[in-house]
């Protein structure tokens, strides 16, 4: 019974929804879907309507009025309510992965390099004088040592950050 009723009402509903939707500020498909839901609710509660075509026309008009009311009450945002200044979850995950790769590479550096790079990356924002004192080296040798350590770090990280794509 339900399948026959849907098949019989579908062309009428399509025509009625197309006629009412744009004046109501909605899409015909949205209006059709809302009326189908109303029909299913009606059939579950009371059974099929006695005059299906009349009920359908009335339901389309009622849904169109409801859509007009909602459109009148809704206020569009001036701008999208998104804070673009904060990184999203994807950026946070990628940043954490880069940070872990950097810290792992720093731990694999030779000699004093791990301590030097850790001091350079420190959130305390140490001066060269403080770093040299912490490592027990002269402040003048800190620059060349830093360059050597960064070169080693660059060589360690190159295979990890290089594009993974087929060659040739």
Q: Are 149 and 117 in contact (CB under 8 A)?
A: yes
Q: Which of helix, strand or coil describes residue 82?
A: coil
- Judge if 108 and 55 occupy the same domain: no
Domain that holds residue 45: 2-73
- Rounded-to-integer distance, Cα 104 and Cα 98, Å: 10
Number of domains, the chain: 2
Q: Are residues 64 and 101 in the same domain?
A: no
Where b means 16+ CB within 10 Å and e means fewer, 101-125 reads ebeebbeebeeebbbbbebbeeeee
Is residue 104 situated within a structural domain?
A: yes
| Same structural domain, 118 and 147 | yes
Average pLDDT, stretch 52-80? 85
Q: Are 154 and 146 in contact (CB under 8 A)?
A: no
User: In this model, does residue 164 exceed pLDDT 60?
Assistant: no
pTM: 0.45
Average pLDDT in the 99-105 region?
Answer: 90
Domain limit, last residue, from 48, 73, 98: 73
Query: Average pLDDT over the chain, rounded to whole?
Result: 86
Domain boundary residue, one of 73, 100, 133: 73
Give the model's pLDDT for residue 109.
Answer: 93
pLDDT of res. 145: 92
**CA dist., res. 114 & res. 103, Å (int):** 9
pLDDT tens string 13-24: 999 999 988 887
Same domain, 65 and 121: no
More confident residue, 165 or 102: 102
């Amino acid at each position: 019974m339900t399948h026959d009723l849907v098949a019989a009402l579908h062309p009428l509903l399509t025509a009625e929804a197309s006629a009412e939707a744009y004046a109501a500020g909605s899409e015909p498909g949205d209006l059709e879907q809302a009326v189908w839901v109303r029909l299913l609710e009606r059939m579950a509660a009371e059974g099929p309507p006695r005059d299906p075509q009349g009920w359908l026309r009335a339901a389309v008009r009622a849904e169109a009025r409801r859509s007009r009311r909602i459109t009148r009450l809704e206020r569009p945002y001036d701008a999208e309510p998104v804070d673009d200044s904060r990184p999203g979850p994807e950026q946070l995950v990628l940043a954490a992965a880069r940070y872990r790769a950097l810290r792992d590479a720093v731990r694999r550096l030779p000699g004093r390099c791990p301590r030097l790079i850790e001091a350079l990356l420190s959130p305390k924002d140490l001066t060269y004088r403080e770093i040299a004192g912490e490592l027990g080296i002269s402040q003048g040798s800190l620059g060349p040592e830093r360059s050597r350590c960064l070169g080693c770090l660059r060589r360690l990280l190159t295979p990890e950050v290089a594009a993974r794509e087929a060659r040739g």
